[in-house]
Amino acid sequence: MRSDIEIAQAAELQPIQAIAETMGLGSADIVPYGHHKAKIPLEVAQARGGDAAPLVLVTGVNPTAAGEGKSTVSVGLADAFTLRRRNPVLCLREPSLGPVFGIKGGAAGGGHSQVVPMEEINLHFTGDFHAISSAHALLAALLDNHLYRPNSLDIDTTAITWPRAVDMNDRALRSVVVGLGGRTGGVPRQDGFVITAASEIMAIFCLADGLADLKERLGRIVVGYSRSGDAVRAADLDAVGAMAVLLKDAINPNLVQTLGGTPALVHGGPFANIAHGCNSLAATRAGLALGDVVVTEAGFGADLGAEKFFDIKCRFGDLRPAAAVVVATIRALKMNGGRAKDELTTEDVEAVRRGFVNLQAHVENVRKFGVPPVVAINRFTSDTRAEIDVVLEGCRAMGATAVIADPWGGGGEGCLDLADAVQDVIDGGEADYRPLYPTEGSLVSKIEAVATQIYGADGVDVEPAAAKQIARLEAIGLRDVPVCIAKNQYSFSDDPTRLGRPTGHRITVREVTPSAGAGFVVVKTGSVMTMPGLAARPAAVGMDVVDGQVTGLF
């Protein structure tokens, strides 16, 4: 059996100009990055008129550590629409180097449902992540330089909220001390790093609708507070212009292709467990302007990615999703039904039946946003007919359409039934999108709304330090904004070991930080970290370059 990278490397790709032509774009409308990648200037997509295409979200159940193929289903669904001659556009996030070298080894789909060129997308791509990391680092450098000379803003060094960022999993950087080295080494203080996917600049990048909006948002970033308690922002440090210089090309969406020849806009990459989990709004809007149907994905389960897609991205972007696909796998349901990770390939109908409550909760949650769901059973070779029938019967009982999909082995052909089911939902016109909560109201009321209605919690416990942070954020104008809750991806609770559909739990809020430029606040729960660590055996140790070819990307 060939690996993902072997399948991708064996594919014969079309010139990127040919892919652009399927979207009605000429060679003058794109900026090529080699033969198989390009950027689409924002003004090109913004100049296209016509009615917006229907938007389809792909989300899923709580995943296992191995991942459940949500991106693979997204690619397969888009390619199935291509086979049905629907002129789709696929919109995905860019992979982060942290997970690529950590656990995943690659994040561009899998098998015969991949976006390509796979190695380039997974590695440096068009440099967007580097630009975001550099802009983040520049603001951190300007902040520390201001502390050193002359600190005319009277910044309190114990009240700085702007961390540093790097696009790599590195637990040793979670807490550091900077400014050592004597009188010329800067002002000593405690600091820390987040992964680039958790940077506020990533969130801003993914919500800005152009360069002017980007600059306005960058200027609003809160980097800390003065000794008198006033918020200090990036604009106060005269940082905005230089940061925009670093981001001016990156903000244009990236165009690549799937193995099935479907145009794919791969742009932006916030994680859903520690950030808002969606590709850039600019890319999604470009897809809606240039395609007949848009397939996009939000990270991890519907409790994280889908909730943030609906409550943050759709709210800010005035998007009206027409349907949602909830991806489920037999192995994920078995794990949620009590089986261990090394037991997931053994038939266990009762474990699937017990774990079905997890899928049920996600389907119910999607419906709370007024969006009709379709369940996609992403089939693996170890799945048995009896196990699959449990899921099909359970979905029928709750009035949800469910179909079997085989994107890994069958590509678009393996997702034709799924595409037809989604098209039926679109044609039915049942969608009536609405956010879960209004932005008006206290931050705690919005945290409680998500915790009780989406996570199924009994309530929220706010630690004293977090309560003080909430009071400060509401005092500086960050009250009537959405909340972006950082929570582990494995459980509806803030305890990753409580699988299935836990009850009787409460959500503990331990820290609340500003994302004023993005337009929301980040609420950190449980023990979730914004700087991941590497596994005992990282994917990086199996990677190499042999005869000019990358190996080891799964």
Q: Residue 369 catalytic?
A: no
Q: Residue 434 catalytic?
A: no
Q: Are 284 and 296 in contact (CB under 8 A)?
A: yes
Contacts of 257 by beta carbon, 8 Å cutoff, 6+ apart: 13, 14, 16, 19, 36, 115, 116, 263, 264
Q: Please, what is the angle between helix 240-247 and helix 211-220, to 10°?
A: 140
Cβ burial of 300 (10 Å; 0-12, 13-18, 19+) is: buried
- Beta-strand relationship, 176-178 and 189-191: antiparallel
Q: Look at residues 265, 273, 269, 282 and name the one whose alpha carbon lies nearest to residue 196.
A: 269
Set 11, 235, 380, 498: catalytic member: 380
Set 272, 283, 298, 322: catalytic member: 272
Contacts of 167 by beta carbon, 8 Å cutoff, 6+ apart: 96, 97, 98, 129, 130, 133, 195, 196, 197
Set 70, 217, 308, 331: catalytic member: 70
Element (H, E) at 201: helix 200-207
Q: Residue 408 catalytic?
A: yes
Give exposure, 40-69, as e/b (b: 16+ Cβ within 10 Å): bbbebbeeeeeeebbbbbbbbbbbbeebbb
CA dist list (Å): 397 to 351, 391, 392, 400? 18, 10, 9, 8
Q: Residue 316 catalytic?
A: no
Q: Residue 104 catalytic?
A: yes
Estimate to the nearest angstrom the gap between the alpha carbon of 155 and the chain centroid: 33
Set 39, 86, 104, 524: catalytic member: 104
Q: Are 405 and 73 in contact (CB under 8 A)?
A: yes
Joined together, the tokens standing for residue 248 give 């001016």
Q: Residue 272 catalytic?
A: yes
Set 22, 59, 72, 82: catalytic member: 72
Contacts of 78 by beta carbon, 8 Å cutoff, 6+ apart: 88, 89, 90, 258, 260, 262, 264, 295, 412
Measured between its terminal Cα atoms, the distance across the chain in Å is 12
Set 271, 300, 356, 554: catalytic member: 300
Estimate to the nearest angstrom the gap between the alpha carbon of 7 and the chain centroid: 25
Q: What's the angle, vertex CA 243, arms to CA 242 and CA 249, rounded to 5?
A: 105
Set 93, 285, 313, 510: catalytic member: 93
Q: Catalogue the active-site residues.
A: 70, 72, 93, 104, 272, 300, 380, 408
